[in-house]
Copies of this chain bind each other. A is one copy, B any other.
């Protein structure tokens, strides 16, 4: 079920949007709520359908717009795997993604700072990177108690 945002989360939303000179709208709040309610890396379409349950008039274009806005102000991350639909992830801590061949599900894998550092160290001089994407592809033993919030 999709609950309302906690005060804390609403503040987080408001602050991040505000910093980029944008405002909180009901649509943005609904989309953000959906993202936090079920952290299973939904596609735009999944977000759309979930958000519609709460706000029936919401349009797909708006969902695209909201998600783009969130990415722009650092509220969520995009996750791409091969050429599949883009997925969205509100986990902002440094982490890698693991895509389960069997189920298609995406799992977050914690990324210790020293591993991230050793990874960055392979860049030759002159290469300056702000983003590193790491994605594993394979099989995970299912022991999956759905990672909602």
Are B123 and A109 in touch, CB under 8 angstroms?
yes
Q: How many copies does the complex hold?
A: 2
> How far in angstroms is the closest Cβ of chain B from A59?
21
Q: Is A138 an interface residue (CB 8 A)?
A: yes
> What is the predominant secondary structure among interface residues of chain A facing chain B?
strand
* A115 in complex: contacting residue of B83, B111, B122, CB < 8 Å: B122
* A122 in complex: contacting residue of B110, B122, B133, B135, CB < 8 Å: B110
| Alpha-carbon distance between A107 and B124 when the two chains are bound, in angstroms | 11
* A132 in complex: contacting residue of B110, B127, B135, CB < 8 Å: B135
Q: Is A146 an interface residue (CB 8 A)?
A: no
Q: Is A137 an interface residue (CB 8 A)?
A: yes
Counting contact residues on chain A (CB < 8 A from B), the size range is 35 or more
Provide the residues of chain B in CB contact with A130, threshold 8 Å.
137-138
* A138 in complex: contacting residue of B86, B119, B128, CB < 8 Å: B128
> How far in angstroms is the closest Cβ of chain B from A85?
9
CB-based nearest B residue for A100:
B127
> How far in angstroms is the closest Cβ of chain B from A134?
5
Interface of A with B (CB < 8 Å)? Answer: 78, 80, 82-83, 86, 96, 98, 107, 109-112, 115, 118-119, 121-124, 126-141, 143
